[in-house]
């Protein structure tokens, strides 16, 4: 009996092991079937977000749909810079020159001019600091909403770019020694972009619209600021920003080639609202007229016609 009992228990162990193997195999067949069923309804770029937030589409090999995005990624890697080692932060900030005051000399004292100009500068750079934080948050959101690998690589590059911009605007605000509130209208616009669940609205809102406005302002500061430190910062930041709008135009032109009429209409209405909201915020700022013309040009390149 001991011998039979040993054989019996060996048979039981073998049967149990076989059962376990089958169970594991069945489990993976079942999991695979579930994933396959889930993928059937996946219109790339949107429904992975609906099915499982923050869970990316996996690839078994490097699959590239948009080679132009890989070119952009190569530029991103080649053009990285370090704000600590490439910028001379020891320079004091240069304030407004006598020449910039002269046109206002008959209506305001030099002291009041300097105070008002400093207040305006503090407000502007606080909004830009906030905008860079929003761009960082948005890029991080998008990385799992865009299914294409090459788009994710570009967005990973934008994340480090925006982190650097947050750093330099934060350091510049520190040097200014100012503390201004965030504009509630800008905060509302940023929240609408971040809260959207559609990649089209997010990219049009950030890479085309808000970053388009930021580039317009950076170009003005780069050419007109009396402060050499700020002009240096703007030159470096602008080098990154052109890639971000390039990503938005290329990606959406590709995606919207097969988007539904409803998706396009939704995005056009979204960006139309942003244009009207920002028009109110900027009070018809004439110096940004060419910036708004550039934004509309990029929207047409994507195939959108905001009302």
Site residues for Fe ion per CB under 5 A: 132, 135, 162, 165, 211, 241, 244
Q: Using CB atoms within 10 Å of the CB of residue 149, give its burial: 0 to 12 exposed, 13 to 18 middle, 19+ buried.
A: buried
Nearer to Fe ion, 66 or 233 (CB): 233
8 Å CB contact between 217 and 237: no
8 Å CB contact between 180 and 122: yes
SS3 94: coil
| Minimum separation from the CB atom of position 139 to Fe ion (A) | 8
| Minimum separation from the CB atom of position 297 to Fe ion (A) | 18
| Minimum separation from the CB atom of position 135 to Fe ion (A) | 5
| Minimum separation from the CB atom of position 68 to Fe ion (A) | 18
C-alpha dist (Å) from residue 306 to 153, 207, 215, 241, 261: 29, 16, 20, 23, 13
| Minimum separation from the CB atom of position 242 to Fe ion (A) | 9
Nearer to Fe ion, 118 or 160 (CB): 160
| Minimum separation from the CB atom of position 21 to Fe ion (A) | 52
Nearer to Fe ion, 27 or 235 (CB): 235
CA distance 192 to 277: 11
> Half-sphere exposure of 85 toward its Cβ, with a 13 Å CA cutoff?
3
Nearer to Fe ion, 121 or 243 (CB): 243
Nearer to Fe ion, 247 or 270 (CB): 247
| Minimum separation from the CB atom of position 127 to Fe ion (A) | 13
Kindly state the DSSP code that residue 279 receives in the 8-state scheme: H
C-alpha dist (Å) from residue 176 to 209, 217, 227: 28, 18, 12
120-144 burial code (b ≥16 CB/10 A, e <16): ebbeebbbbbbbbbbbbbbbebbbb
Nearer to Fe ion, 135 or 288 (CB): 135
> Half-sphere exposure of 138 toward its Cβ, with a 13 Å CA cutoff?
32
Nearer to Fe ion, 147 or 241 (CB): 241
Nearer to Fe ion, 239 or 266 (CB): 239
C-alpha dist (Å) from residue 145 to 43, 53, 54, 79, 303: 12, 8, 7, 26, 21
Q: Which two tokens stand for residue 43?
A: 């219109």
| Minimum separation from the CB atom of position 84 to Fe ion (A) | 17
């Amino acid at each position: 009996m001991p011998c039979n009992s040993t054989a019996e228990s060996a048979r039981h162990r073998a049967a149990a092991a076989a059962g376990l193997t089958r169970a594991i195999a069945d489990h993976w067949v079942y999991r695979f079937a579930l994933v396959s069923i889930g993928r059937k309804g996946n219109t790339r770029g949107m429904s992975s977000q609906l099915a499982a937030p923050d869970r990316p589409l996996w690839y078994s090999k490097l699959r590239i749909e948009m080679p132009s995005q890989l070119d952009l990624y190569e530029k991103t890697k080649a053009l990285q810079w370090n704000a600590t080692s490439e910028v001379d932060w020891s320079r004091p900030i240069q304030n407004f020159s006598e020449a910039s005051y002269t046109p206002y000399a008959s209506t305001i004292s030099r002291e009041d001019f300097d105070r008002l100009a400093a207040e305006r500068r503090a407000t502007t750079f606080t909004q830009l600091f906030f905008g860079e934080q929003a761009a960082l948050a948005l890029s991080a959101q998008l990385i799992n909403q865009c299914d294409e690998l090459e788009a994710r690589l570009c967005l990973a590059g934008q994340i480090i770019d925006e982190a650097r911009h947050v750093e330099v605007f934060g350091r510049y605000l520190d040097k200014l020694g100012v503390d201004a509130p965030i504009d509630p209208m800008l905060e509302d616009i940023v929240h609408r972009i971040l809260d959207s669940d559609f990649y089209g609205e997010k990219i049009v809102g950030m890479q085309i619209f808000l970053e388009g406005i930021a580039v317009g302002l950076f170009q003005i500061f780069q050419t007109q600021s009396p402060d050499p430190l700020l002009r240096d910062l703007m030159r470096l930041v602008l080098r990154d920003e052109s890639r971000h709008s390039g990503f938005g135009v290329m990606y959406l032109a590709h995606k919207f080639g097969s988007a539904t009429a409803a998706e396009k209409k939704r995005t056009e209405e979204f960006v139309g609202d942003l244009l009207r909201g920002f028009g109110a915020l900027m009070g018809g700022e004439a110096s940004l007229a060419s910036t708004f013309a550039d934004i509309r040009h990029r929207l047409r390149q994507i195939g959108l016609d905001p009302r």
